[in-house]
Amino acid sequence: MSLRAPDRLLLASARRGGVWVGVTVVTSLLLTGATLALPAVMGRTLDAVLGHGDAARWLALSGVLVFVMVAVDAVDDLVGQAAEARSTAWLRHTLLRHVLALGTRATRRFPPGDLVSRLVGNSARTGDAASGLVWIVMGVIPPLGAIAALALIDFWLCLTFLAGMPILVLLVRAFLRDISDAGEGYFRVQGTIAARLVEALGGIRTITAAGTLDRETRRVLAPLPELHRHGLGMWNALARISARGDLVVPLLVVAVLAVAGVGLTQGRITPGEVLAASEYVVMAAGIGGVMSSLNELAQARAA
C-alpha cells in the first residue's frame, strides 16, 4: 500500500532520530513492563499482609518497581528529546537544501514568510514524530496488558470491560478525525499570515511613506478569524474527548469493580486481586496518555 507524502515524511523523520529512537524503545519497554507489573505485586503484598505471609519481600519488590518507573521515565524523556532534536535538524537541513535548489521557483509558489514558518515552526512539530511514534505504540501496550491481566484474575472482569470497549474505540476515531482536520487548517492559515507579514516588512519604507500602515495591518491579520476558528476546533476536539472520556471511563471502572466485589464475596478472587483489578481497569480504560500522543502525532502530520 502506497503511503501519502505526509506519512512518508513522518517515517523518514522518525528514522533520522538514529540510535536514540532505539534507546527510546528500550526505555519505553522497561517503563511499560514495570507499570504492568506494579498492580500485581501490590495485590500480592496485600494478600501477604492479610494472610501473614512474607509481606516484606513483596513490599520491597513494590519499592523497586516504583524506583525503576521513576528512573526510567526520566531517561525516557531525555532520549526522546535527543531523538526529536536529530529529526528536527534533519528536516530543517533537508527543507533548506530543497528550497535553495529550487531557486526563485520556490518563492514564486511559497512566499518567504510561509517558507520561514515551515522551516522554523512546522519542522519542529514534525520532528516530534521520532519519539511520538514509539510512545504511541508503547502507549497501547499497557491497556492491552491490563485487559489480559483482568482475564487472568477473573474472566468476568475482562468480559465486563470488553463490553464497553466499542465506545472507547468510537471516541478515539472521532478524535483523530477532528484534530487532524483542524490542525491542517491551522498550520495552513498560520503560514499565510507569516507570508503577508514578511511581505509587509520587506516594503516597510513604502508603507510608511504612503501612510498605509493601518491598511497593511488589516491585510496581514485578515486570516486571523479563520486561524481562531481552527484553533478553537483543536481545543474543542480535546474538550469533547476529555468530557466523553470522563463519562465513559468511570462507568467502566464502576462496572468492573462491582463484578470484582461479587467475585470477592463468592471467594473466586482475593482482596489483593481486587486491588490489582482496580488498578488494571483504570490502566485499561486510560485513554488519556494515548490521546495525548495521538494529538501530538496528528499535529506533526498536519505540520
Sequence ranges of the domains in the chain = 11-302
Least confidently predicted of 112-121, 171-180, 182-191, 274-283: 171-180
- What pLDDT, in 10s, does the model give residues 158-200? 888 888 777 777 776 776 677 777 777 887 888 888 888 888 8
Nine cell digits for residue 230: 481552527
C-alpha dihedral, 181 to 184 to 186 to 190, nearest 10°: -170
pLDDT bin (cut points 50, 70, 90) of residue 83 is: confident
Of 44-53, 152-161, 208-217, 234-243, the poorest mean pLDDT is in: 234-243
pLDDT for residue 295: 65
Could you give the CA distance from residue 284 to residue 36 in angstroms, rounded to a whole number?
A: 10
Residue 114, pLDDT score:
74
Mean pLDDT lowest among 15-19, 43-47, 109-113, 233-237? 109-113
DSSP of 108-165 = HHS-HHHHHHIIIIIHHHHHTHHHHHHHHHHHHHHHHHHHHHHHHH-HHHHHHHHHTH
Q: Indicate the class that CATH gives domain 11-302.
A: mainly alpha
pLDDT class of 1 with cuts at 50, 70, 90 = very low
The stretch 237-250 carries a mean pLDDT of 73
Q: State the pLDDT at residue 97.
A: 86
Q: What is the pLDDT of residue 93?
A: 87
Question: What is the value of pTM for the model shown?
Answer: 0.64
Q: Is 70 exceeded by the pLDDT of residue 287?
A: no
Q: If you write DSSP's letter for every residue of 206-234 in order, what string do you get?
A: HHHHHT-HHHHHHHHTTTHHHHHHHHHHH
